[in-house]
Amino acid sequence: MLTVRAPATSANLGSGFDVFGVALERPADVVRVEKAEQTRITVTGAGKQYIPEDPEKNTAGAVARALDAPAHIRIDKGVRPASGLGSSAASAAGAALAVNELYDRGRSREELVPVAAEGEAVVAGDAHRDNVAPALLGGFTVATPDGVTRVDADIPVVVCLPDLVVSTRDARAVVPEGLRVSELVETVGNAATLTTGMHRDDPELVGRGMTDSVVTPARAQLIDGYDDVREAALDAGAAGVTISGAGPGVIAVCDERNQRAVAATMIDAFDRHGVEASAYQTSTGEGARFLGN
């Protein structure tokens, strides 16, 4: 048996819709695999009741099919489904790394990104790479159809997770189909600023680059209290705040000394809207890794 820890991720980061992603130090899934005559899935942990164990409907099952490697895959969920923290990507990435090793398929981590993305297609309808790329490679990633570029960034973040559910399909349905040239120019500038900040490990630059006037405002309508939570986090010292992935998670970039205050303030702001929430004080981190046999 092989065991892999696969991290939560945050995609989009405001200005990098469907392109940017970061691996987070926590939370994480733990995926255990062993060879079997046919693929079986067992799920425990956070939100297990919402995750199908049918291999045809599970992200890890899709990975096993893509690698032609039947396995008994046990997933202990630390990343809650429908959280905006790459829950399905964590399971897919963990399974891809473990099954590839178990069957000696010889794929590099970069080559496993499209394999893990096949798992994402099961739940999202499309093989998006913005979550699976950082889940496998770690750090900050830029995923395009031509490949993935990675930066080994070290940025403190707070992720606040409200007790709300926003499905990926609903979040994609509200995305505007077009934008004005002025919005395009603004988005490109912000994305470039964010990328520079990741290269420099500069939370202030990253935060400035998270600003987005196209996708985020549309998705914010699906998250009760989002605008107040964002303003509260900025007032508490966050350099930038945006929706994590499809939501409802909200990610704030800040200096390490402000993390506790930012986390508490975000929870309080959700509470004022009658929404319970919890928060992770974490940072950008490494990709999926083996824990042992």
What CATH code is assigned to 156-283?
3.30.70.890
Give the three-state DSSP class for 243: strand
* 286 is a catalytic site residue: no
Name the fold adopted by 2-151+285-292: Ribosomal Protein S5; domain 2 (3.30.230)
Asked if the model's pLDDT at residue 293 lies above 70, the reply is no
Output phi, psi for 173, to 5 deg: -65, -25
Q: Which of 25-29, 117-121, 255-259, 261-265 has the lowest mean pLDDT?
A: 117-121
Query: What one-letter code names the amino acid at 98?
Result: A
Q: What is the mean pLDDT of the chain?
A: 94
Give the whole-angstrom CA distance, residue 112 versus residue 133: 9
Which of 20-24, 34-38, 143-147 is predicted least confidently? 143-147
- H or E element at residue 216: helix 215-220
Pairing type for strands 156-162 and 277-283 reads: antiparallel
Spell out the residues 6+ positions from residue 17 whose beta carbon is closer than 8 angstroms to its own. Answer: 175, 212, 214, 215
Which residues touch 189 (CB under 8 Å, ≥6 apart)? none
Distance CA 207, CA 155 (A): 10
Q: Domains of the chain: which residue ranges?
A: 2-151+285-292, 156-283
Annotation marks residue 120 as catalytic: yes
Question: 9, 59, 141, 168: which one is catalytic?
Answer: 168
pLDDT 10s digits, 156-172: 999 999 999 887 778 88
pLDDT digits (tens, 9 = 90+) for 27-61: 999 999 999 999 999 999 998 998 999 999 999 99
**3-class DSSP state of 73:** strand
Choosing from 39, 59, 118, 120, the catalytic residue is 120
- Residues in Cβ contact with 123 at an 8 Å cutoff, skipping those fewer than 6 apart: 59, 88, 168
Any idea what the Cα angle at residue 210 is, between residues 209 and 212, rounded to 5°? 105
- pTM score: 0.94
